Each structure stands twice: as structure tokens, then as C-alpha cells.
Amino acid sequence: IIVMAIVSFIVNSKVDGVWRGNTASNIANEAMFVEAEDGTIYFNRDGLFKMTPDGEVQRLTDYIVSSLCIDEQYLYYSYYNDTGKLYRMNLETQEHEKISDIACGSLNLVDGVLYHSSQYLDSQKGIYKTYQQEDGTFTTEQITIDHAGNLIYYNDRLFFINNADFNRVYSMKLDGSDRQAPVGRGTSMFTIENGWIYYCNKNGMYKCKPDGSAQVQLVDLRVSDMNVTEDYIYYSYYSASQTDANQQFYRVDLDGKNREMISSDSAIGICTAGDYIYFQNGY
């Protein structure tokens, strides 16, 4: 039973056979939710919580975190009360410890290595990796100095929005070499699911292969937030300054067809966990 539970947990945490500690779409949405073996862990302005499948909520901490990432033993996150530095919490004892002095975001866990970007301090801007040494200590190494957001690991490469190049999506090998820019300017966010890059800008939503080929437009409405699941794309556009824009919450099939309004609320931070889609009302 224990083996089956662990296997089920790992399989449910994978997309395209890659275990990132969270889904790519959740990571792109600040990873407010993550699916644990025995429930859903999430954060809000009041702390960190776990919700069991029957709806029972347990408070794990009262400190503020973001960018959740998980494995069988630890929950990793950016600790807001310590300028966003990288911490982890033991899921059994609920003890937490700092493992890097870098203010982090977009946590991707790959073979025991955390790949993350620094989005808060200009003096630390760049893409990093953090890993544990044999003596138990942690080492953080800078891979590039890019002003990067929306970092996602896929197929032995790191994809990110390069804020210094008109928000173009870049990709590179894990050591920072072989830099490419497969997707055009003005990307507000992107995710990688089912072997496709899904990205959005002021002109709508698109998908293409990771090398930029086979590009097709899926949605012609403005899109700022989205989450791609196995069956649907959930998306919305939020702007406090453009109240005349269509800012309702929609879903479409993966080919962009059969649009359906989910809610009239403007959805931001769209995440999935278990059988639910979670979002915040932009207003």
C-alpha cells in the first residue's frame, strides 16, 4: 500500500515524464498550490495550510511563503519574511530551515537539484541551482545573470521569460549554454505541457513546439493568466487600468475550440491540485 501510494504521488506530479515538484502551469502561476501525498498544500496572506481530500484544513505555519515545490519528504518555498530566501520544511516534523540566501521564485526540482530564478533583488538577478552536498550542507550556484521570470524546466533545458529582451521566451541547457529564443516578444506568461509551449500576450494565446515551430493561435482575446491541464486550457485577462477589456474566466479545449465561461470573475494565480482548479479574484 505504501509503495502504491508513493508511486501514485510521483506519477501525479509528472508531466511528460518530468517530475518538477509541481506542475509547470502551477509554477508559472507562483505555485500557490501543490498536491501532496495526503492532500493539498497552499498558502495565503495568513500562512501555510494543508487541506485533506475531505475538506479538513490544518494550519502548518503562520509565516508567509510563495513558490511551492514538493518531494516525498520536504516542501520547498520562498520565505517572504526573510526577503524571499529559499527554505524547506520537513513534511513530518514541520521544522523548516534556510537552504539558500538567494531570494527565489519559480522553483523546479529535478533529480534532487532545485533550479530557480531570483525575482526580487537586482543585486541577485539571475538563474541559480541549489543542491545538497554529501555532508548535508547546501550549495547555490549561479547559472546566468539574466533578469528572468517564469522559469520552467523541460526536457533537460530551462525555459524562461527574459525581461531584458522585451519579455521574449528563452531556453538554454542546464549549464547556461546553447541559448535560444523560440517565442516572440511581449510574453506575459507561458507554460509547457503535453510537449507544447503555451504562451500569451496582448494579442491572445498561442502554442508552439519547444523549438518555436508549428506555432498556432488558440485564442484571440487578451490573455494574462492561464493554466493548461490534460484536457483544458483555463485562462483570463486581468488589468485594473483597462476595465473595458474582456476579463472573464474561460476554458477551452487544448486546440482552442469550445470556449466556455467558468466565471465572470477575473482570474489570476490559476493553479490546479487534485480535482480542482483554484484562482484568485483579481478585484
Q: Are 226 and 189 a contacting pair, CB within 8 Å?
A: yes
Asked if residue 39 has pLDDT above 80, the reply is yes
Q: Determine the straight-line distance between the first and last CA of the chain, rounded to whole angstroms.
A: 45
Q: Is the pTM of this model over 0.85?
A: yes
The predicted-structure confidence for 44-71, as pLDDT tens digits, reads as follows 989 999 999 888 999 999 989 999 999 9
Asked if residue 108 has pLDDT above 50, the reply is yes
**What average pLDDT does the structure give for the chain?**
90
Task: Sheet containing 189-193: give its strands across.
Answer: 189-193, 196-201, 204-208, 216-219
